[in-house]
A and B are shown apart, each in its own frame.
Chain A
């Protein structure tokens, strides 16, 4: 079946511009996660959505980062006033229910801030 999809696959932007990254989770998965992977680094948790519960935003690095999930499905991660240190691969994952269930990742969006 279809996996997690993300768009765009690559995004190049200029410092100071806003960007929006999109994630389509696996159908029926109620939990959705965003992670960031900097060059040669591990994955860093950003934000988590589960159903109608308040999202866990504890991993967002600054108030320039925000995310929303509409209708319990598609999610958008927005980065305002991008900085060069925001350059990374942004990965989305989804799972059936919260907590200890397998998280399945999309291919990621590679963001480059010039």
Chain B
């Protein structure tokens, strides 16, 4: 079935360093890949997304890359700040039938140390 694997499960970096989180997906029909940030006690917040017709997308300090051939995509956060500390989820979906349900990875807990 559809599956998204996410690594690492935890990541600790020093403030100012870069952080990279990687995901792989199993369904080659997947064509939409969002990333969410979830802070304690809150719902996930959409921070960036990419569609399969694009290889890279950047928004200020965050960027996402997509390799369709290898079926993997990555989140890159540069110049990390303590407020970037949170759990990050990748997800994948496909336009199929009447649903756009998201299949989520298991999450990465990012800790940015001041």
Interface residues of A (CB under 8 A from B): 4, 31, 33, 35, 41-45, 48, 50, 53-54, 56, 58-59, 91, 95, 98-108
Contacts and interface: CB of A to CB of B under 8 A. Distances in A.
A42 B42 contact: no
Contact of B49 (A4, A41, A53, A102): A102
B43 A100 contact: no
Nearest to B93: A100
Contacts, number: 75
Nearest to B4: A42
A6 B85 CA distance: 25
B16 to A, nearest CB: 29
Given A42-B89, A102-B49, 17 more contacts: A31-B100, A33-B101, A35-B102, A41-B106, A41-B107, A42-B104, A42-B105, A43-B91, A43-B104, A48-B99, A59-B101, A91-B43, A98-B98, A100-B31, A102-B46, A103-B102, A106-B43
Nearest to B51: A100
Interface residues of B, number: 28
A103 B34 CA distance: 9
Contacts of B95: 99-100
Interface of B: 6, 31-32, 34, 36, 41-46, 49, 51, 89, 91, 93, 95, 97-107
Nearest to B101: A45
B99 to A, nearest CB: 4
A42 B44 contact: no
B8 to A, nearest CB: 14
Contacts of A50: 98-99
Contacts of B49: 102
- Shortest 4 CB-CB contacts between residues of A and residues of B: A100-B32, A105-B43, A99-B100, A56-B99
Given A99-B95, A100-B31, A102-B49, A48 B101 contact: yes
29 contacts: A33-B101, A35-B104, A42-B89, A42-B104, A42-B106, A44-B104, A45-B101, A48-B98, A48-B100, A48-B101, A53-B98, A56-B99, A58-B101, A59-B101, A95-B100, A98-B100, A99-B95, A100-B31, A100-B51, A100-B93, A100-B95, A101-B100, A103-B34, A105-B36, A105-B43, A105-B44, A106-B43, A107-B42, A108-B43
